[in-house]
Amino acid sequence: MAAGPAPPPGRPRAHMPHLTKMERVVVSMQDPDQGVKMRSQRLLVTVIPHAVTGSDVVQWLTQKFCISEEARRSPSHPSPEALHLGAVLVQHGYIYPLRDPRSLVLRPDETPYRFQTPYFWTSTLWPAAELDYAIYLAKKNIRKQGTLADYEKECYDRLHTKISHAWDLVLMQAREQLRAAKQRRKGDRLVIACQEQTYWLVNRPPVSPPAPGAPSVLEQGPGRGFCAASRVHMTKSADFYKQEIEYCRRALGRTRVKSSVCLEAYLSFCGQRGPHDPLVSGCLPSNPWISDNDAYWVMNAPTVAAPTKLRVERWAFSFRELLEDPVGRAHFMDFLGKEFSGENLSFWEACEELRYGAQAQVPTLVDAVYQQFLAPGAARWVNIDSRTMERTLEGLRQPHRYVLDDAQLHIYMLMKKDSYPRFLKSDMYKGLLAEAGIPLETKKRVFPFSWRPRHSSPSPALLPTAVEPTAAGGPGGGDGVA
Amino acid sequence: MCDQTFLVNVFGSCDKCFKQRALRPVFKKSQQLSYCSTCAEIMATEALHENETLASLKSEAESLKGKLEEERAKLHDVELHQVAERVEALGQFVMKTRRTLKGHGNKVLCMDWCKDKRRIVSSSQDGKVIVWDSFTTNKEHAVTMPCTWVMACAYAPSGCAIACGGLDNKCSVYPLTFDKNENMAAKKKSVAMHTNYLSACSFTNSDMQILTASGDGTCALWDVESGQLLQSFHGHGADVLCLDLAPSETGNTFVSGGCDKKAMVWDMRSGQCVQAFETHESDINSVRYYPSGDAFASGSDDATCRLYDLRADREVAIYSKESIIFGASSVDFSLSGRLLFAGYNDYTINVWDVLKGSRVSILFGHENRVSTLRVSPDGTAFCSGSWDHTLRVRSSRPAWAIW
C-alpha cells in the first residue's frame, strides 16, 4: 500500500501525464489500418476476437518509435526499449494477458493479449473505490470458494470490518452481477472477467513486505501542490500580477546575447573539456570504478607534489579553474609573491571566508579584514580604486557578510585580467607544464577474475580539520584531506 | 510524526486586527505576515486602487509577457543541433553498473557525493540516512530520522557533516563521528524550519550555510551555527522541488524548479528573482547547472529535459523522444557538459548528447523508479538511487582501455 498520503480524488490525468501518453499509444495501436495485427484467439473451446500476440506488440512498438538500429534485426531479437515500453503498458493494465491474468508481464512471443477497455483505464475509473473492490472480491469468493489469494483474503477481511454496515449491499451487488454475467456468452464473460481482474491487479496490487515484491505502478510520492491551495487564492491577487509586471519590466530591460554566440560557447567548452571528462574520454592510469585500483585518486589528490599534465593544463582554461585547485592556487600565490602582489589573493580568500562563514563571525572577520588589508597603513594594503574604497568604508559602518563584495570583485578582476595572463605566460607555469607527466595505463590483470582488494581511504570526518575549508580549499575544493 | 502533509493551523493574534483567530500566512511585498481569514479577504480587495481592476492588471501582465517573448525570439538566430552538426559524434558507450549499494530497507529518495569522490550519503522513505564508502561498498554511518520520506540530503564540503530533511519540514545537520560511544543523533542540529516538506537542500561553499527548498513554495538560506534565516526567496506559485547552486566566479546565484512549471534563477544577496523560464508542461523535478555556469538543464514530469541558456535568456534545447513517456526525476551533466544523464520514473536512465540533442544510450537495471542521480565530483562515475531500495554506481570504459 502506498505509504504516503493517498492521491487526491479527481483529475488524475493532470498530475499523471504519463497516463495520457500511454493511452494515446494504446489507441493508435488499435487503429484498424496502422495498428497491431488483430486475430482471434482460441482459448480451450472459446474463441476470443481482437487478440494480439506479444511479439506483434513489440514489433509494432519498435517500428513506430524507430527505437533503435536493432529494429532492423529480426523480430526474434526484440529491441530492449520496445520490450520495456510494452512491459510498462501491460504493467499499467492497458494491455492484459488472456491466459495468465494474474501476472501483468509482456512476453514477446505467441502469448495472446488484448487491449483493456477504456472503462477500466486507471485514469477513467479513478480513484479505485473500496466498495467496488469489496464487490469484486465477494464475487470471486462466491463464484468459487478458495480462489482468493492470500493478500486478497486479507483485504476481504479488512473490508468486511471496515464497511460491515454496507455488507449486505456488497453481497447483493455481487450476486446480481454474477447473475447478469451468466446470461452473457462465454467469450464475453471471460473477457470481462480478465478486464476486471487486470484493473484490480493494477489498482490493488499484491503487497508482500518485507521484500519489494511487485512495485505498485500507481505509487506516488508525498502529495504535491495541495497545501499551496490556500495560497492559490492569494497568488492570483493584485500583488501577484504587480510582481509579474515588475519582473517583466526588469526583464525587458536586460541585455540578451544572440543564440549563435551562446551556442558556440557550448561547443568550445565541451570541446576543450572533452579530454578531461572520464566518462567521455576515459582517464589514466585507469578508472578506479572499473579497475578497482584507486591510483587515479591518489595521483589527483587535492594537494599532491606532482600534478598530472591534464591537471596543469586545466589551470589555463579559466581563472576559476586555477583558484579552485589547491595546488594551482598555491603556485599562483608563489607567482604573486614574486610580483609583490600576494596580498590580493590573500584579501580575496579572506573575503570568501567572510561570505561563507558563520553569521556570528561576521563582525570579527570584517574587522580583521579591514585592519589587515584596508586600513590606511595596513600591513598588507590592497590597491583598490578610490570610489570602491569610499563605498566600502561607508558600508563598514554597518558590517554584513556582503559588505566587501565590491572590493572583492575589483581585486578579483584585477588578478584575472592582469596577474593571471602573466602567470600563464610565465616560466614558472611553463616549467610546471613541462614537468607534469602523463600516467601510464594500468596493466591488464594477469588473472582477470582474481579478486583485487579495494583499498579503503580515511574518511574526511576522521582527519583533523585544522584549516577553514574555504581558505584552504577554496570554493568547492576543500575536503579536509591535508 | 505522521505521514500526511497538511497545513499547520497557527492560532494567535492577527497582525492586522489583533484579534485571536486561526491565522493564514499572507505575503505583502515579499514579507510574510499572519492574517485571520477576514483580514486576508479584505486585503485581497483593498490592494486595488480605483483605476485598477484585477482584470486590467492581468491583461497588462499578459501583454508584457508577450513582449518579453518577442524580445527573446528576436535574438534567436540558430538552433543548437544545427550548430552542433559539425561536432564529431560520440562513440559507443559501454556503461555498466560497477557497484550496487544494498542496505536501505525502503525507497531511496536522495543521494549526494562527498568531495573525496568516493563517499556517498543517501536517504530513504523509512527515515534512514546512510553514509557509504561506495568504492568498497562499506557503510560508514547510519542515522534514523524521526520522520519518514527523507527527500533531501547533502554532504558538507568538508566531508565532516551531512544535512537531511523531509516530511518533518526541517533540515537537520549531523556532524559525522566515528566515536562508538557517541550517538550521531545526539549532536543533531536543527537548522531550517519550513511550513511544509523539505524537498531539496545544499551546502554553499562552506559547512556553515545551507540553502533549502520546500513544499511551502519558498527557498531559504540559513546559517548553520545559529539556525538563523539569512535570506528567503519568494516567487514560486507552488511547491519548490529542486535547486542547484551556480558554479560561477562570483558565486551569487542559484536556480530552483517547482510544481508551477517554472524554473527561477535567484540572486542570493537580495532574494530577488533574476530570471524565470516557463516552458515545461508539468512539474519540474530536477535542475542542474551546465559546468560553465552559463546554462542549466531541467527534468520534468512532462517526460522532457530542457536546456536553458542564461545569457540568451531562453530555452535552447529539448531532450525528448516519443517513446519516453514517464517523467524525468533527476538530471546531471558529465564533467565536460557533453553528456546529460537523466533518471526516469519508468525505471530507466537515458544518456543524452547535450550538443546534438540525440539520445546516446538507455540504461536498464533498476526495478523501480529512479529517484535521484548525481555524477561524481571528478566525473569518473555517476550514481543513481531508486525506489527499488538500491543505489548503483555506473561508469564507462573507453574503447582503447585495456583495464
Q: Does residue B33 sit at the A interface (CB-CB below 8 Å)?
A: no
Residue A283's closest chain B neighbor by CA? B380
Chain B: closest CA distance from residue A458 (Å):
10
Q: Does residue A70 sit at the B interface (CB-CB below 8 Å)?
A: no
Question: Is residue B271 predicted with pLDDT exceeding 60?
Answer: yes
Q: According to the model, what pLDDT value does residue A232 have?
A: 46
Q: Are B215 and B249 in contact (CB under 8 A)?
A: no
pTM attached to this predicted model: 0.87
Those residues of chain A that have pLDDT short of 70 are 1-15, 66-77, 208-215, 225-237, 444-452, 463-482
Q: According to the model, what pLDDT value does residue A246 have?
A: 87
- B315-336, pLDDT tens digit by residue? 999 999 999 999 999 999 999 9
Q: Pick from A22, A227, A235: which is nearest to B215 by CB?
A: A227
Average pLDDT over residues B160-171: 95
Can you tell me the ipTM of this complex?
0.87
Q: According to the model, what pLDDT value does residue B302 have?
A: 94
Q: Are B282 and B326 in contact (CB under 8 A)?
A: no
The interface residues of chain B toward chain A in range 265-284, judged by CB-CB distance below 8 A, are 269, 273, 275-276, 281-283
% of chain B with per-residue pLDDT over 70 = 94
Q: Are B54 and A241 in contact (CB under 8 A)?
A: yes
Maximum C-alpha span of chain B: 78
Using alpha carbons only, give the angle A276, A282, A283 rounded to the nearest 5 degrees.
Answer: 70
The cell 534565516 sits on which residue?
Answer: B229
Compute CA A363 distance to the chain's CA centroid, rounded to the nearest angstrom.
40
Burial class (CB in 10 A: 0-12, 13-18, 19+), A151: middle
Query: Is B33 or A86 the better-scoring residue by pLDDT?
Result: A86
Average pLDDT, chain B: 90
Q: Does residue A119 sit at the B interface (CB-CB below 8 Å)?
A: no
Residues of A with Cβ-Cβ distance to B313 under 8 angstroms? 251, 254, 256
- B173-193, pLDDT tens digit by residue? 999 988 777 788 888 999 999
B60/B48 Cα distance (integer angstroms):
14
- B126-147, pLDDT tens digit by residue? 999 999 999 999 999 999 999 9
Q: According to the model, what pLDDT value does residue B72 have?
A: 87
Q: According to the model, what pLDDT value does residue B241 have?
A: 96
Q: Are B153 and B134 in contact (CB under 8 A)?
A: no
- Residue contact A278–B378, C-beta within 8 A: yes
First vs last C-alpha separation in chain B: 50
What does the block give as the cell for B221?
A: 538560506
Q: Are B384 and B373 in contact (CB under 8 A)?
A: yes
B20/B9 Cα distance (integer angstroms):
13
What does the block give as the cell for A359?
A: 553569521
> Between β-strands B229-234 and B128-133, what pairing exists: parallel, antiparallel or unpaired?
unpaired
B393/B376 Cα distance (integer angstroms):
9
Average pLDDT over residues B361-373: 94
Q: According to the model, what pLDDT value does residue B246 have?
A: 95
Q: According to the model, what pLDDT value does residue A445 have?
A: 61
Chain B: closest CA distance from residue A117 (Å):
21
Looking at residue B5, its amino acid is T
Torsions phi, psi for A169 (to 5 deg): -60, -45
A179/B216 Cα distance (integer angstroms):
52
The interface residues of chain B toward chain A in range 93-152, judged by CB-CB distance below 8 A, are 98-99, 105, 109, 114-119, 125, 133, 135-136, 138, 140, 148-149, 151
Report the CATH number of the B95-396 domain: 2.130.10.10
List the single best residue of B323, B370, B390 to mutate versus A (max A Cβ within 10 A). Answer: B323
- Residue contact B158–A258, C-beta within 8 A: no
- B228-244, pLDDT tens digit by residue? 999 999 999 899 999 99
CA proximity to B386, closest of B345, B352, B355, B354: B345
**What residues does CATH 2.130.10.10 cover in chain B?**
95-396
- B76-133, pLDDT tens digit by residue? 989 999 999 999 998 888 899 999 999 999 999 999 999 999 999 999 999 999 999 9
